[in-house]
Amino acid sequence: MRLVLVGPPGAGKGTQAQFLAAHYSIPHISTGDIFRANLKAGTPLGVQAQSFMDRGELVADSVTNEMVKDRLTHDDVANGFLLDGFPRNVAQAEVLRAILAEKATPLTAVLELSIDDAEIIGRLSSRRTCKDCFQPSVGVDKCPLCGGDVYQREDDKAEVIARRLEVYAEQTAPIISFYRNEGLLITVSATGKVEEITEHAISALSRVS
> What mean pLDDT, rounded, does the chain reach?
90
Q: Of 146, 7, 15, 26, give the one whose Cα is nearest residue 78.
A: 26
**pLDDT higher than 80, residue 23:** yes
Q: Of 198, 176, 174, give the one whose Cα is nearest residue 185.
A: 176
What the chain holds in terms of domains, given with CATH numbers, is: 2-114+172-205 (3.40.50.300)
Query: In whole angstroms, how far apart are CA 192 and each of 11, 113, 128, 188, 197?
Result: 11, 12, 20, 11, 7
Q: Of 178, 24, 170, 209, give the one whose Cα is nearest residue 97.
A: 178
**pLDDT higher than 90, residue 164:** no
How much is the pTM? 0.81
**pLDDT higher than 80, residue 78:** yes
In sequence order, the 6+-apart residues with CB closer than 8 A to the CB of 132 are: 143, 146, 148, 149
Beta bridge partners of 104: none
153 is catalytic: yes
88 is catalytic: yes
User: Which of the four pLDDT bands, split at 50, 70 and 90, describes residue 181?
Assistant: very high
Higher pLDDT among residues 76 and 166, named by residue: 76
55 is catalytic: no
State residue 18 phi and psi, 5-degree precision: -65, -45
In the set 97, 127, 157, 180, the catalytic residue is: 127
pLDDT average, residue stretch 16-41 = 91
> pLDDT, tens digit, for every residue of 79-130?
999 999 899 899 999 999 999 999 999 999 999 999 988 888 888 888 899 9
In the set 2, 13, 123, 128, the catalytic residue is: 13
